[in-house]
Amino acid sequence: MFPPRWFLPYDAILQIITALVALAVAVYALRGYQWVKERTLYALFLAFVLLSGGLLVSGVTLAYTYLVDVPFSRHVQPLVASDLGFWVYYMASMMAFSILVIAYASRLRPSLVALAGMLIFGQRSAGGSLVSAGPFMEMVLVVLLLFIVIAQLAHLIARWSWHSLMVTASFTMIMGSHVLMMFSSIEDTMYVLGRIVGLAGFLSLAGVLYLLRRKG
């Protein structure tokens, strides 16, 4: 999704900060995996490395777009740099959340095949334009995250702990951020809130992993 023009520099900063937080999540997840050899933690590491890379590319291309004063709006096709940044972000996000879906609930793999079909159809119908494809891409991410949240809720019910609750809340916030951005074409404020809620979700997850690391 394209941010409002006035929010462009702040969006770039938020995405770069979120990329760094995602990298911290990946580092803590890898350390946790090395400690307990839990496959879910390794999947979390891979997923957040991808998310970090996607967010960083998107943030840098947005910063470039702003610094060189590229004409930028929802209704004008942007230059290749910013467009490429968004596509890298969406592709990395879908790969990352797909990894987590498989890790949390392997029985949902057939659903991923259906999602892949949805993505191909969506790209064809959108004609490659992010203006029209953005809401669809956000919808795919929301569906993937919904699977993750449901799987995490099932784990929370089976094995209650404050850490599991916070992980569930973190992914719920991340999902909520994509829901807000999916409807951001209605109101610019929803895009801004989406970015802030997403950053809060990443920070929450990083905090949980940090506390678990200290406890371990």
Residues 152-165 as b/e (b if ≥16 CB within 10 A, e otherwise) read beebbeeeeeeebe
Asked if the model's pLDDT at residue 150 lies above 80, the reply is yes
* CA–CA–CA angle 157, 174, 10 (5° rounding): 160
Average pLDDT on 109-113 reads 46
Asked if the model's pLDDT at residue 216 lies above 80, the reply is no
Average pLDDT on 198-214 reads 89
Average pLDDT on 128-156 reads 79
β-bridge partners, 76: 73
Which residue ranges form the domains of the chain, and what is each CATH number? Answer: 5-215 (1.20.1070)
Q: Which two tokens stand for residue 190?
A: 């929803």
162-182 and 130-158 are packed helices; what angle lies between their axes, rounded to 10 degrees?
160
How many Cα atoms sit within 13 Å of 57 on the Cβ side?
18
SS3 label, residue 32? helix
pLDDT tier, 136 (very low <50, low <70, confident <90, very high otherwise): confident
Q: Which two tokens stand for residue 70?
A: 């590229």
What's the whole-number average pLDDT of the chain? Answer: 81
Determine the pLDDT at residue 107: 43
Tell me the C-alpha distance between 89 and 50, whole Å: 9
Q: Which of 68-82, 150-164, 174-188, 201-215 has the lowest mean pLDDT?
A: 68-82
pLDDT tier, 16 (very low <50, low <70, confident <90, very high otherwise): very high
pLDDT per position as a tens digit, 167-201:
999 999 999 999 999 888 788 899 999 999 999 99
Tell me the C-alpha distance between 130 and 84, whole Å: 10
pLDDT per position as a tens digit, 17-67:
999 999 999 999 998 888 888 888 899 999 999 999 999 999 999 888 888
Average pLDDT on 129-156 reads 80
